[in-house]
Amino acid sequence: MTENPETAPETPHRKVTFRFIVRWILIGAALFWSLAVLMLVAARWIDPPTTAVHMERRLQAWMHHRPYHERYEFVPLSQISPDFQHAVIAAEDARFYQHHGFDWGAMEIAAEDDMEGGRLRGGSTITQQLVKNLFFGTGRSILRKGAEFTLVPVAELVLGKRRILELYLNVVEWGPGVYGAESACRYYYRTSARNIGREEAARLAAILPSPLRRRPERMNHYSELIQERMRRMGW
């Protein structure tokens, strides 16, 4: 029986095309990962001029024809109040100084702390959130999580805890177009990050899980929980 050439399968050609696509996807992923590692190494000494989240918000505003004003001022950790630093750690990553990038216990009990129908924090550590802010934006996917999983140990190794905290406090989103501790303090309280009070710091830390929807003045219950956690941690 002879095969009709018009209906003959094109399996070899399709296999070649599929392999070609997969190969270039893997090459692209490897290049992105290598670039991210180099940027993390550079971030040990160089303050990032922008992040993936900053660019994402700028693009969203442009696509929806909305005005966009970015407030982003990078300040040294020494110019951020210890109360502010402690409030963010207590709210976002209580075992920040004990883990090496991942807090497996927190991942298992992420739904434990309900506050006004929400959560005090998720299972992601400050290091994970920094990597996400720098390179991946706010989107969620298995691929993003996988890449994040490989970059977090690199961040811990090349940056160290102090620099990780400094970077996170300076780049994280605190409101529409508001990025970093200094900008947040000036936007909400007309003061500097150095002079922010304990209660105000707790209120600002409380809006981090949802900075575009939450407002510090509404965070009464959240901020009380954060301050209580700070007291338990010796702060």
Q: Please give the full DSSP string across 158-206, using - where no structure is assigned.
A: HHHHHHHHHHHHHHSEEETTEESHHHHHHHHHSS-TTT--HHHHHHHHH
**pLDDT tens per residue across all 235 residues of the chain:** 445 555 545 566 666 677 767 777 777 777 887 888 999 999 999 999 999 999 999 999 999 999 999 999 999 999 999 999 999 999 999 999 999 888 877 665 554 554 444 445 567 899 999 999 999 998 877 877 888 889 999 999 999 999 999 999 999 999 999 999 999 999 999 999 999 999 999 999 999 999 999 999 999 999 999 999 999 999 9
- Collapsing DSSP to helix, strand or coil, 49 comes out as coil
The answer to whether the beta carbons of residues 71 and 187 sit under 8 Å apart is yes
Whole-model pTM: value is 0.85
Contact between residue 214 and residue 190 where contact means Cβ atoms under 8 Å apart: no
119: β partners: 114
